[in-house]
Each structure stands twice: as C-alpha cells, then as structure tokens.
A and B are shown apart, each in its own frame.
Chain A
C-alpha cells in the first residue's frame, strides 16, 4: 500500500480531506481555495490524494460512494450547486406531483435550462430501467396469531347472546361484591350499606359479655372514674325525682286552674253586661245604689272612719 506524503502541519489537514470528498460548505470551500493558493504543502497533498483516488476508482471500477459525494442530501441540506437550484421542482415534475402552477412554471424553466432538460430526460430513462426489477414471486405470509386474553374475552362476549352477557355481568358483580365484603342490611335505621375490603365479618357476641362490667384501666389518668351507686342513694334519687315531678305537676295544675277562673270571670262579666243592658232606667238606678251601698260596706270612706273614731273616743271618755 502506498503511503501518502505527510504535509507540513498547517493545521488544516481535516479540511483538506473534507475538501477532496466535497464535504465542505460553500464558504469553507472558498476559504480553503484561498488557502491552497498560499500553502504549497496542502496543494501537493491534494494533488497526490486525488491521484490515489483516481487510481483506486479505475482499478476497482467503482463510482465514488454517494454517501461521500453527498452526505448533505441524506440530512436534507442543500445539494451542491449544479448551475440550477430547482432540483426539488424537477423531482415533483418528474413524478407528476407538481401543482398546475408549479408545472406551468417549470415548463417555462425547461425551455431555458439545459441542465434540467438533460436531467429530466435521463431520470425518465432511469425510471424505465428501474421498472425492469419486478418482484413476481410473493410467498404467502402465514401468521400464527395467538389472541391476547382480552382479545379472547372480547371475542367470547361478541358471540354470546344478550341474556348470557347480562347473566355473566351479574355474576361478575356478585363476585366483586363478595370480594369487597359488602354488607347490606335493613333495620330500624333503614337500609345500611357497608364495605370492608378483606375485613372479617364480626361475630355476634354472647349476652353475658354485654352485661359484664367494663374493665377500668387505672393507668389512664385522664379517663373519668366511674361513680358507684348504693341502694340508699338510688332511693334518695328516686324520691327526689318523684318530688320534683309532683311539684312540676302541681304548678302545671295551678296554671290551668287560673286560666279556667279567668275564663269564667270573663264569661260572668259578659253575662252581667248583657243583663244590665236588658234593665230599664229605674232598675239601673236601684242597682247602682245597691252596689254603692255594698262598696261602702266593703271599703268605708274617710267620713265614716272619722265618725267611727269619734264614737270610740267618746265611749272611752265615759
């Protein structure tokens, strides 16, 4: 294998390789062209490497790899200049995917651009040649498909009649409720619904346990100590409560009696007013006098009192 001469280190060896393989950007290429004019070692190196590449291509009858010629095309970057930048339009036109406007515009362009005209003709030839490779033998694809659990379940449901689906749904719901330990009871408080995931069902306790005195834990100081009641105290309490009840009962009865007497007085007064209204004038005068007499006897006025006092004094003097 021939060894290429090493250039003096001008620091642009990487650029030289990229330059030879056409992988520099246009600005880098211009910059390196200027550099080649000045740097004799790079110029010599470039000439030698070009000769090696040509020899290799001739010997092996290979075209330069498109990956080296045009990496930019793979990454979607612009392709190197070819005298016309309407490659994309050309491809759209070639495959009949251009809009009517684009087609019209490109037809006009074809009249002027020899590069595009030549390429279009060549590409049509390439397309015709490529159609020579036809795949005629297509083996039948046999798939061993195993449906998943859910797919099998769905398929099963699809073929099951409607009533069967309802039954299965009901059974499933019951299993789920049992698993969740759901309890529904109807009592004095209405319907009670309770759940307890994997909680054991409480067992009914014996009566003796219910009346057994609760054990008191003395270690907890904050808990109130239970009051002990003996028979005498209970009796006293009962008597007190009976008395209290009697007192309340009496007070209640008194109030009721007062109310009744008030009602009677009101009724009597109304009856009297009615009776007086039915009397004539002479009877009313008699009645007034009689009432005044009664009042006087009940509540003596000051003159009567003075008269009584003087009669008492005279009696004492005698």
Chain B
C-alpha cells in the first residue's frame, strides 16, 4: 500500500530526506505537466518544477495538513509559474511554425503512419496555441481541471477563489477554446 503524503511529510520533517524524495517522484509528473502547459516551454517548465519542490521542502514546516499536500504543492507551482512568466522577457511566440521549429513533433506511437503523426502533432499544437492565448486566470483553471483532473473545490482551494468563480472562468475559457479550435479546424 502506498504511504500517504501526510506521513511522508512528517517523516521529512523528522529529518528523513529520502521521504521527500518519494514525494518528488510521486508528484513530479503532474507538476511538470501543469508547468509545461502553463508556460509552453520545456526548459521553463523544468525550472519551475525544481523551484516548486525546493520551495516546498524549505517551507514544509508551514504545511499545516489542513489542506491536501497536492493542493498545497499545486499552489506553490502556480505561484512559481506566475513568477516565471513575469520574469520572461517576452511572451513566447506561439505560432504553429515556431512551435514546430522549437519543440519538434511530439513523439507518438511508432505504429502510426507519418501522416497521422503529423496530424496529431498539428492538433496538439493548435490546442497548445489556443490555450496559450487564453488569459492567465482562465488558462490555469482549464489546465487544472482538464489535464490535472482536480475537482472544482480543489481548484478553488489552490487559487483561493470561490467555487462559483472557478466554474465561471471554466465556462468562459471553454467558450473561447471552442471558438478558437473551430477556427483552427477550418484552417486545417
């Protein structure tokens, strides 16, 4: 049976640094995927991921255990993403061409034909582009709900906003994504 997060936190606070290593292994994927979707660049996401876990380790004493450890970690990650975005000199160029040049085609199943792979990669890029064009507040809600699978109340807890605001932002964000993706579908 998997050791609960709270128990690993306690063990870390007692000086067992290996326990924190388990927490890192457990949560590095969700935090990284959140960061990469928020920032759009692998390098920035990697930096933010490291910052998040280091900050969590340094401030582990302030974790009261009232909220879930994951919610607390997501809040730190969101703050780190926000700081990173403010530090970036310019907003990243989110054109499809630039993204292909910079990130390449996302690896997909080798059994797929090259045409399918290109098509999948293009679709992913459109989604990435549409998300990147969303205002920060809507983007973070959509990412946390759609990709991280957090509940409405968990998102509200992470962001410190009411559940109704989470739903409103999600609705507006989906409306915009719908328009944007329909438009891009026409282009394809």
Contacts and interface: CB of A to CB of B under 8 A. Distances in A.
Contacts of A155: 14-17
Interface in A87-123: 87-88, 90-92, 95, 97, 119, 122-123
Contacts of A63: 176, 179-180, 183
B44 interface: no
Contact of B32 (A77, A134, A141, A143): A141
B152 interface: yes
Interface string A125-143: 1110111111111111101
B106 A87 contact: no
Contacts of B164: 76, 88
B53 A158 contact: no
B114 to A, nearest CB: 17
Interface in B163-181: 164-165, 167-181
B84 interface: no
A192 to B, nearest CB: 41
Contacts of A139: 32, 42, 46
Contact of B137 (A69, A74, A129): A74
Q: Give the most central of B15, B120, B181: most A CB within 10 Å.
A: B15
Contacts of B82: none
A156 B171 CA distance: 53
A132 B36 contact: no
B147 to A, nearest CB: 8
A63 B134 CA distance: 11
Contact of B128 (A125, A133, A156): A133
Interface of B: 14-17, 20-21, 24, 28-29, 32-33, 36-37, 42, 46, 49-50, 53-54, 57, 106-107, 120, 123-124, 126-128, 131, 134-135, 137-138, 142, 145-147, 151-152, 161-162, 164-165, 167-181, 183
B123 A91 contact: no
Interface size class, chain A = 35 or more
A118 B135 CA distance: 24
Given A95-B145, A143-B50, A155-B16, A134 B106 contact: yes
20 contacts: A63-B179, A73-B138, A76-B168, A77-B168, A79-B168, A123-B174, A129-B127, A130-B147, A132-B127, A133-B123, A134-B106, A134-B124, A138-B33, A141-B49, A143-B24, A143-B50, A145-B54, A147-B17, A153-B15, A158-B14
Contacts of A79: 168, 171-172
A92 B165 CA distance: 12
Given A63-B176, A123-B174, A147-B17, A76 B50 contact: no
Interface string A65-76: 111011001111
A136 B171 contact: no
Contacts of B173: 66, 73
Contact of A138 (B28, B167, B180): B28
A91 B171 CA distance: 6
A131 B128 CA distance: 11
Given A74-B138, A138-B32, A143-B21, 19 more contacts: A63-B183, A65-B135, A74-B137, A76-B168, A88-B171, A97-B151, A119-B175, A126-B178, A127-B146, A129-B126, A130-B131, A130-B142, A132-B123, A137-B42, A139-B46, A141-B32, A141-B46, A143-B24, A145-B17
